[in-house]
């Protein structure tokens, strides 16, 4: 018995030893030597991504894997789609089919991951120069890609201190500034990486110009006449403060009735009745929600329903949790014009939309 | 008893050794196969060169990317799959033995629900892999501790342990639902759900390296208890008549198994069916004798989970959760054994 146990212990030690040797194979000594050899054949420069990480990017980026749908959208606006070799698999649900109108080749690309997970080998197999991910990707996946010598850039679309930025559900103190600065940073970064700096600057300038138009015209409307707005989503969810929709409403002179709640949350009909919004609007992908509201007696006495102010936001407004250049440049002006048609009557929004689509996406806008 | 078992051992030792050799060869074969498959194309010959470059000086014809892919991405993940599979199979076999219940699994005492709660809480609050793994570990042990406490206040028989496990498990699964409800539906919830389904896609290599010794230590202790395990699985009365301190030994063994399972779950998330099915297959091959069952379970468990993980990372371009595939493969397998009456008890 004792003898057998000794043998068992000896075998165990042997196992440990073997495993240790194997594991030391995955150690770091190989990594450093290899990274050198990867670096020498390419000129690189260092950027700081939106999680505050330093990333070395090759000067000439020709292959990009993009696993963040807002970034994909911006790449399309900068007309850098020919550099894409892989995108996130759910791009169509998250962005809409217009992405395929702008860039028909998107259906033939590799789909090596989603917004929140990626397959390291699938990504590496596309041999990208840069991988762009959201802050929902586990840090291990990023580490693995970096060990393979593939630079990873994180895009969050908002600016916050480091701790806030890595939490996906930020408690932004000043959401307006955080999203505006964040989107500006993102557009600049993506312009830099894709080699489309001028186009990126043009895009951001257009956003700034249009926002100025909105605030100029809103000056005429006194604070007390600002309209109370509720945004209806599926399953009684709405956007409170801390999400971009709240910022867009504020910029467009609307008062978000849900300003007392944080983030994207479920509310009750009673709560909405209490708020009694004057206008209810929905994203175009949630158009069916409006019919539910119309047909539901519980909603009948709410101001917006009584006066028939139920509005579907057009595709180009993109009133989502995170901002896009389009939602800032066109969405805010659309909302303001819809709420205060008198004040904005000389603003030709249709022309702006056509200009934006032609100049940035390179296609005509169709309803 | 000793004499009889001696005779049996001699009679079957030859075929057992053969089986052992076959299974070991199987594990090595699956290991090598796993190194060569993946979404990133590396030739089989190149894989061998990379693997043995320290021993045989090859000329470096392969790309550094391929080398890192094999050594930094595939190898750690493969080893993790094997270790987790072995740990789950061993603790499944032990639990089935000492609870004398063919339906017992490593999760019977509420380990999985406790770990799930810990991980969900960590995802909600911190979202760092260190936090997730340590919370999973901590709360799985809390769950087992509660189960023990319950059965200690009752009579501490195996039945009250199993019942306590069900109670504690239900409590923690309700708490998991609560966290899922509170979590942000777009951002936190998918991460929690994905963790609960089990995956090795975002394995933290450094943490895995440190927990390796841990696995070996507890499997080692269970191996030293293989004789007692045989006696304990006869039932309390019989075990007592052999002069075994039933209560003490059972507690030591259960604690070891719980640590083993908790460590496995904290690395990989909740993977069902391995700890239930593999011990049955092992028993089919070598019978209920733990001296043979334990090594067979280690070999079978590691090979099985490794194969399943290969499927997870190669079937689609995105990762598939491990727990899903183990259940899809495991249930028909188990049904087959049940129908063909090969599950002897």
Local structure of B225: helix, strand or coil: coil
Range in A24-38, A131-145, B9-23, B266-280 the model is least confident about:
A24-38
As given in the structure block, the two tokens for residue B172 are: 């923690």
Tell me whether residues A119 and B216 touch, CB distance under 8 A. no
Question: Nearest-CA neighbor of A118 among A87, A148, A96?
Answer: A87
Cα of A281 to nearest chain B Cα, Å: 21
Tell me whether residues B73 and A147 touch, CB distance under 8 A. yes
Cα of B145 to nearest chain A Cα, Å: 28
Nearest by CB to residue A124, choosing from B69, B185, B201, is B69
Region A208-361: CATH code: 3.40.50.1980
pLDDT per residue rounded down to tens, chain A (367 residues):
556 667 766 776 777 777 666 666 554 444 444 444 444 457 899 999 998 899 999 999 999 999 999 999 999 999 999 999 999 999 998 888 889 999 999 999 999 999 888 999 999 999 999 999 998 888 888 988 998 999 999 998 888 754 455 454 555 667 888 889 999 999 999 999 999 999 999 999 999 999 999 999 998 888 888 999 999 998 888 998 888 898 899 999 999 999 888 888 889 988 999 999 999 999 988 888 999 899 888 898 899 999 999 999 998 998 888 889 999 999 999 999 999 999 999 999 999 999 999 999 999 987 7
Q: Distance between CA atoms of B253 and B243, rounded to whole angstroms?
A: 17
Cα of B59 to nearest chain A Cα, Å: 15
Region A42-195: CATH code: 3.40.50.1980
Which residues of chain A neighbour B190 with C-beta distances below 8 Å? 116, 136
Pick left, alpha or beta for residue B167 (phi over 0 → left; psi -120 to 50 → alpha; otherwise beta): alpha
B190-195: which pairs have CB atoms within 8 A and are 24 or more residues apart?
A: B190/A116, B190/A136, B191/A116, B191/A136, B191/A138, B191/B123, B191/B127, B192/B119, B192/B120, B192/B123, B192/B124, B194/A116, B194/A117, B194/B269, B194/B321, B195/B116, B195/B119, B195/B120, B195/B123, B195/B132, B195/B269, B195/B270
Interface test with B, best of A34, A120, A137 (most B CBs within 10 A): A120
Interface test with A, best of B61, B82, B131, B202 (most A CBs within 10 A): B202
Contact status, residue A354 vs residue A69, Cβ threshold 8 Å: no
pLDDT in tens, B223-237: 999 999 999 888 888
Chain A, residues 295-324, CB within 8 A of chain B, namely 321
Tell me whether residues B317 and A122 touch, CB distance under 8 A. yes
pLDDT in tens, B128-154: 888 999 999 999 999 999 998 888 877
Burial of B254 (0-12, 13-18, 19+ CB in 10 A): buried
Tell me whether residues B39 and A121 touch, CB distance under 8 A. yes
State residue B118's pLDDT score: 95
Nearest by CB to residue B71, choosing from A25, A112, A139, is A25
Contact status, residue B295 vs residue B279, Cβ threshold 8 Å: no
Q: Distance between CA atoms of B195 and A104, rounded to whole angstroms?
A: 35
Cα of B305 to nearest chain A Cα, Å: 18
Burial of A195 (0-12, 13-18, 19+ CB in 10 A): middle
The separation between CA A196 and the C-alpha centre of its own chain, rounded to angstroms, equals 20
Nearest by CB to residue A16, choosing from B67, B184, B216, is B216
Question: Nearest-CA neighbor of A254 among A218, A304, A290?
Answer: A218
State residue B46's pLDDT score: 85
Nearest by CB to residue B191, choosing from A8, A111, A116, is A116
What order of strands is seen across the sheet that includes strand A110-113?
Answer: A110-113, A84-88, A64-67, A130-133, A152-154
Tell me whether residues B71 and A26 touch, CB distance under 8 A. yes
State residue B7's pLDDT score: 43
Where in the sequence of chain A do the CATH 3.40.50.1980 domains occur? Answer: 42-195, 208-361
Cα of A212 to nearest chain B Cα, Å: 32
As given in the structure block, the two tokens for residue A28 are: 């770091």
Q: Distance between CA atoms of B279 and B297, rounded to whole angstroms?
A: 6
Tell me whether residues A149 and B65 touch, CB distance under 8 A. yes
Chain A, residues 191-220, CB within 8 A of chain B, namely none
Does residue A41 or residue B168 have the better pLDDT? B168
pLDDT at residue B4 is higher than 50: no
Interface test with B, best of A14, A124, A142, A152 (most B CBs within 10 A): A124
Which residues of chain B neighbour A167 with C-beta distances below 8 Å? 127
Which residues of chain B neighbour A9 with C-beta distances below 8 Å? 220
**Averaged pLDDT, B48-53:** 83
Beta-bridge mates of residue A241? A262
Burial of A341 (0-12, 13-18, 19+ CB in 10 A): exposed
Q: Distance between CA atoms of B128 and B114, rounded to whole angstroms?
A: 18
As given in the structure block, the two tokens for residue A89 are: 């698999």
Fold exhibited by the domain B89-339 = ABC transporter involved in vitamin B12 uptake, BtuC (1.10.3470)
pLDDT at residue B257 is higher than 50: yes
Q: Which residues of B199-214 are buried (b: 16+ CB within 10 A; e: fewer)?
A: bbbbbbbebbbebbeb
Q: Distance between CA atoms of B326 and B334, rounded to whole angstroms?
A: 11
- Is the CB of residue A97 less than 8 Å away from at least one CB of chain B? no
Enumerate the domain spans of chain B: 89-339
Q: Distance between CA atoms of A333 and A312, rounded to whole angstroms?
A: 15
Question: For B163, what's the count of Cα atoms within 13 Å in the CB-facing half-sphere?
Answer: 11
Tell me whether residues B71 and A321 touch, CB distance under 8 A. no
pLDDT at residue B103 is higher than 90: no
A-B Cβ pairs (cutoff 8 Å, strict): 136
Does residue B176 or residue A140 have the better pLDDT? B176
Per the prediction, chain B carries an average pLDDT of: 87
Where do we find the tokens 């991460």? B191
State residue A66's pLDDT score: 96
Tell me whether residues A112 and B39 touch, CB distance under 8 A. yes
State residue B235's pLDDT score: 84
pLDDT in tens, B55-73: 777 777 788 888 888 888 8
Q: How far apart are the first and last CA of chain B?
A: 20
Q: Distance between CA atoms of A13 and A19, rounded to whole angstroms?
A: 10
- Is the CB of residue A168 less than 8 Å away from at least one CB of chain B? yes
Does residue B211 or residue A78 have the better pLDDT? A78
Q: Distance between CA atoms of B197 and B220, rounded to whole angstroms?
A: 29
- Is the CB of residue A151 less than 8 Å away from at least one CB of chain B? no
State residue A159's pLDDT score: 82
What percent of chain B has a predicted confidence (pLDDT) above 70? 94
Contact status, residue B302 vs residue B26, Cβ threshold 8 Å: no
Tell me whether residues B40 and A121 touch, CB distance under 8 A. yes
Range in A78-82, B31-35, B210-214 the model is least confident about:
B210-214
Question: Nearest-CA neighbor of B55 among A23, A25, A27?
Answer: A25
A110-113 and A44-48 strand pairing:
unpaired
A44-48 and A54-58 strand pairing:
antiparallel
Does residue A308 or residue B11 have the better pLDDT? A308
Where do we find the tokens 């239930």? B276
pLDDT at residue B121 is higher than 90: yes
Closest residue in A to B191 (Cα) is: A116
Question: Nearest-CA neighbor of A169 among B119, B195, B194, B186?
Answer: B186
Interface test with B, best of A5, A134, A144 (most B CBs within 10 A): A144
As given in the structure block, the two tokens for residue A151 are: 């630079």
Question: Nearest-CA neighbor of B298 among B24, B100, B25, B13?
Answer: B24
Interface test with B, best of A11, A18, A19, A111 (most B CBs within 10 A): A19
The ipTM value here is 0.76
Three-state secondary structure of chain A: CHHHHHHHHHHHHHHHHHHHHHHHHCCCHHHHHHHHHHHHCCCEEEEECCCCCEEEEECCCCCEEEECHHHHHHHHHCCCHHHEEEEECCHHHHHCCHHHHHCHHHHHCEEEECCCCECHHHHHHCCCCEEEECCCCCHHHHHHHHHCCCCEEECCCCCCCHHHHHCCCCCCCCHHHHHHHHHHHHHHHHHHHHCCHHHHHHHHHHHHHHHHHHHHHHCCCCHHHCEEEEECCHHHEEECECCHHHHHHHHCCEEECCCCCECEEECCHHHHHHHCCCEEEECHHHHHHHHHHHHCHHHCCCHHHHCCCEEECCHHHCCCCCCCHHHHHHHHHHHHHHHCCCCCCCCCHHHHHHHHHHHHHCCCCCC
As given in the structure block, the two tokens for residue A320 are: 């989502």
Local structure of B67: helix, strand or coil: helix
Report CA-CA distances (Å) from A278 to A319, A338, B114: 18, 12, 48
Contact status, residue B183 vs residue A116, Cβ threshold 8 Å: no
Tell me whether residues A140 and B212 touch, CB distance under 8 A. no
Question: Nearest-CA neighbor of A367 among A329, A327, A315?
Answer: A315
Nearest by CB to residue A5, choosing from B72, B224, B319, is B224
Burial of A284 (0-12, 13-18, 19+ CB in 10 A): middle
- Is the CB of residue A164 less than 8 Å away from at least one CB of chain B? no
């Amino acid at each position: 018995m004792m003898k057998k146990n000794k043998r068992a212990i000896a075998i165990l030690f042997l196992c440990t030893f073997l495993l240790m040797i194997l594991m030391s194979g995955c150690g770091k000594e190989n990594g450093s030597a290899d990274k050198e050899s990867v670096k020498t054949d390419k000129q690189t420069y260092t950027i700081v991504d939106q999680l505050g990480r330093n990333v070395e990017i090759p000067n000439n980026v020709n292959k990009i894997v993009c696993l963040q749908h807002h970034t994909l959208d911006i790449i399309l606006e900068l007309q850098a789609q020919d550099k894409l070799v892989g995108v996130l698999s759910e791009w169509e649900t998250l962005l809409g089919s217009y992405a395929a109108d702008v860039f028909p080749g998107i259906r033939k690309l590799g789909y090596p991951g989603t917004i929140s997970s990626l397959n390291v080998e699938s990504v590496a197999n596309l041999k990208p120069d840069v991988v762009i991910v959201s802050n929902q990707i586990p840090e291990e996946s990023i580490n693995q890609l970096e060990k393979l010598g593939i630079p990873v850039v994180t895009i969050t679309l908002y600016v916050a201190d480091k701790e806030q930025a890595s939490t996906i559900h930020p408690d932004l103190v000043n959401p307006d500034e955080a999203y505006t600065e964040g989107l500006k940073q993102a557009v600049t970064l993506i312009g830099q990486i894709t080699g489309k700096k001028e186009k990126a600057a043009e895009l951001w300038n257009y956003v700034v110009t249009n926002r100025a138009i909105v605030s100029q015209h809103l000056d005429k409307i006194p604070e007390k006449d600002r309209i109370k707005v509720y945004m209806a989503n599926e399953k009684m969810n709405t956007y409170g403060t801390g999400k971009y929709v709240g910022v867009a409403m504020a910029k467009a002179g609307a008062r978000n009735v849900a300003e007392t709640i944080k983030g994207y949350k479920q509310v009750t009909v009673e709560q909405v009745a209490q708020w009694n919004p004057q206008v209810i609007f929905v994203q175009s992908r949630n158009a069916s929600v409006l019919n539910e509201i119309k047909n539901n007696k519980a909603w009948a006495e709410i101001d917006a329903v009584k006066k028939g102010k139920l509005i579907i936001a057009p595709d180009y407004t993109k009133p989502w949790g995170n901002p896009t250049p389009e939602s800032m440049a066109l969405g805010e002006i659309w909302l303001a014009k819809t709420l205060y048609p008198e004040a904005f009557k000389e603003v030709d929004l249709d022309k702006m939309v056509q200009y934006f689509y032609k100049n940035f996406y390179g296609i005509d806008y169709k309803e | 008893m000793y004499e009889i078992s001696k005779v049996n051992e001699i009679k079957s030792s030859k075929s057992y050794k053969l089986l052992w050799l076959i299974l070991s060869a199987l594990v090595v074969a699956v290991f090598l196969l796993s190194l060569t498959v993946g979404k990133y194309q590396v030739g089989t010959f190149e894989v061998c060169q990379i693997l043995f470059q320290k021993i045989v000086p090859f000329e470096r014809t392969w790309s550094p990317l391929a080398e890192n892919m094999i050594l930094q991405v595939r190898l750690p993940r493969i080893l993790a799959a094997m270790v987790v599979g072995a740990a789950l199979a061993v603790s499944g076999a032990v639990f089935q033995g000492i609870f004398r219940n063919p339906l017992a699994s490593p999760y019977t005492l509420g380990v999985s629900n406790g770990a799930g709660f810990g991980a969900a809480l960590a995802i909600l609050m911190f979202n760092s892999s260190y936090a997730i793994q340590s919370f999973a570990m901590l709360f799985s042990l809390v769950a087992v501790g509660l189960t023990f406490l319950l059965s200690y206040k009752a009579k501490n028989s195996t039945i009250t342990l199993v019942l306590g496990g069900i109670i504690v498990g239900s409590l923690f699964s309700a708490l998991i639902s609560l966290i899922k409800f509170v979590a942000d539906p777009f951002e936190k919830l998918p991460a929690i759900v994905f963790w609960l389904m089990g995956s090795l896609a975002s394995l933290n290599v450094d943490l895995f390296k440190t927990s390796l010794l841990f696995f070996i230590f507890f499997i080692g202790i269970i191996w030293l208890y293989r004789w007692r395990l045989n006696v304990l699985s006869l039932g309390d009365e019989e075990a007592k008549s052999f002069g075994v301190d039933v209560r003490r030994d059972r507690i030591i063994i259960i604690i070891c198994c719980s640590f083993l399972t908790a460590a496995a779950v904290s690395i990989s998330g909740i993977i069902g069916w391995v700890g239930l099915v593999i011990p049955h297959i092992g028993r089919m091959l070598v019978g209920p004798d733990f001296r043979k069952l334990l090594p067979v379970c280690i070999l079978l468990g590691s090979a099985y989970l490794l194969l399943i993980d290969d499927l997870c990372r190669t079937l689609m371009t995105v990762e598939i959760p491990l727990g899903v595939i183990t259940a899809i493969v495991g249930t028909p397998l188990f049904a087959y054994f049940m129908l063909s009456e090969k599950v002897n008890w």
